[in-house]
A and B are shown apart, each in its own frame.
Chain A
């Protein structure tokens, strides 16, 4: 039981490049989330998926898209990366009310 896994762990992009952050959970959870963490800002919700086939915007969705590929997987895509998207990205999942987090992806956009 690996819990929540994220790939890659680290990534450096140039402005304008695109990339997809992958997240998978093996706990059969319905809901999945993407957060970004910036110094002094705590965790801010980007998008979430309450169940397979549904996605909703969170607090800071601009510049991102998501796909809930199946119950296990929830990906986050940056179509045209900007320096303001330099951050640590966390994926989380929950069955009812307790969220379990992945180890994070540290993204730098130059």
Chain B
């Protein structure tokens, strides 16, 4: 069965610092991988996705993620965090014709 692990429940970073959110997945075949962001009281917004090809994918709001098959990872990065990036971030996986399986999320706090 597919599963997603986000090891960090809560991360705090200073504004302007770099960010990396970790995501590990368990899936037998080539996965389709996603990162979503949820601001307080809002729905989920797609940040980026990986299906195939270049393992470094660019998303909205200056985010990028790198697919590493050998490590079963799809970590999300941003070079310089802004206060507006404070939110909850979810990693998700699917085979393409099955429903998404989500990780439990990582809450990001940004301090001045």
Contact = CB atoms under 8 A, between A and B. Distances in A.
Interface of A: 4, 33, 40-45, 48, 58, 90, 92, 96-104
A94 B96 CA distance: 11
A97 B51 contact: yes
Interface residues of B, number: 21
Interface of B: 9, 32, 34, 36, 42-46, 49, 51, 90, 94, 96, 99-105
Contact of B34 (A42, A44, A90, A98): A98
A33 B99 contact: yes
A44 B3 CA distance: 12
Contacts of A100: 46
Given A43-B90, A90-B44, 7 more contacts: A33-B100, A42-B104, A92-B44, A98-B46, A100-B46, A101-B44, A102-B43
B96 A97 contact: yes
Give the dominant DSSP class at A's interface: strand
16 contacts: A33-B99, A40-B104, A42-B103, A43-B90, A45-B100, A45-B101, A58-B99, A92-B44, A97-B94, A99-B46, A100-B46, A101-B36, A101-B43, A101-B45, A102-B43, A103-B42
